[in-house]
Amino acid sequence: MRRAVRSVLVVRFTRGVGAEVADSADAEAGARRRIRARALVIGLSVTPFGVSFGAVSVATGLSVLQTCLLSLVLFSGASQFALVSVLGAGGGVGSALATALLLGSRNALYGVGVRGLLRPAVWMRPVAAQVTIDESTAMAFAEAPVGFSAYAFWTTALSVYVLWNVATLIGAVVGRGLGSLSAAGLDAAGPAAFVALLGPRLRVASARVVALGAALLAVLCVPFLPVGSPVLLGGGVAALCAVAVWRR
């Protein structure tokens, strides 16, 4: 009788453990499917900007290869648009690169948080740095409470990187036959896309005030400074304001 009771208890305990393991596996699989779906949506959402960048870039005077290399190596939408916008307006290469680097410097701040969150191996850090952007960083921190930050980061990074570069190639090939920026109606595409990329990041009142102040300063300096310099000045002031707020 005791053996029978013991056997029943063992069977029930084993079944309970098995059910918990199965439930855990199902929950993990569901979480991964959810993250992949979100990453794909995010990747698809950037493709119109990628197509626009490719078209604007070749209309500015860069070749299809140069345009694609910018997306492959620089891989920062706002920085890329700033670079080709300055070049398209007649600015020098130095001003264009400086503007792009200034706007891309925020990714270095993201990198500090991502490194602490993911703790990648030494050999993976350059790869992680290359794909540390707004979208991959946001997904990593959003999934941190449930333990899927690394999976969310890499899945989102892969989705955005691949689709952004494919979209850039498509835009560059199509834009190659459009001619000049003004003739193709693309002279406002760069600034419009830049504003669209910036808009979602101005969620708090202080950020909106800083952005408007920096933009006003840049506009006022246009008649007095070389092409590209007003953007650098406005961006520099905005960065200093951000550092001052962060240190409080």
Cα separation, 125 vs 22, in Å, equals 34
- Top pLDDT among 13 and 90 is at 90
Nearest to 110 by CA among 127, 133, 142: 133
- Assess contact for 152 and 35: CB atoms under 8 A: yes
Domain ranges of the chain: 30-176+189-199, 202-248
Q: For every residue of the chain, which 3-state class applies, written as one string?
A: CHHHHHHHHHHHHHHHHHHHHHHHHHHHHHHHHHHHHHHHHHHHHHHHHHHHHHHHHHHHCCCHHHHHHHHHHHCCHHHHHHHHHHHHCCCCHHHHHHHHHHHHCHHHHHHHHHHHHHCCCHHHHHHHHHCCCHHHHHHHHHCHHHCCHHHHHHHHHHHHHHHHHHHHHHHHHHHCCCCCHHHHCCCCHHHHHHHHHHHHHCCCHHHHHHHHHHHHHHHHHCCCCCCCHHHHHHHHHHHHHHHHHHHC
pLDDT tens-digit series, residues 61-109: 889 999 999 999 989 888 888 888 788 777 777 777 877 887 777 788 7
- Name the pTM for this structure: 0.74
Cα separation, 26 vs 13, in Å, equals 20
CA atoms within 13 A on the CB side of 135: 26
pLDDT tens-digit series, residues 107-133: 887 888 888 888 888 899 999 999 999
- Assess contact for 99 and 231: CB atoms under 8 A: yes
* Statement: residue 247 has pLDDT above 90: no
What rounded mean pLDDT belongs to the chain? 78
pLDDT tens-digit series, residues 176-221: 776 555 555 555 555 665 566 566 666 677 777 777 777 787 778 7
Give the pLDDT confidence score for residue 37 in this predicted structure.
94
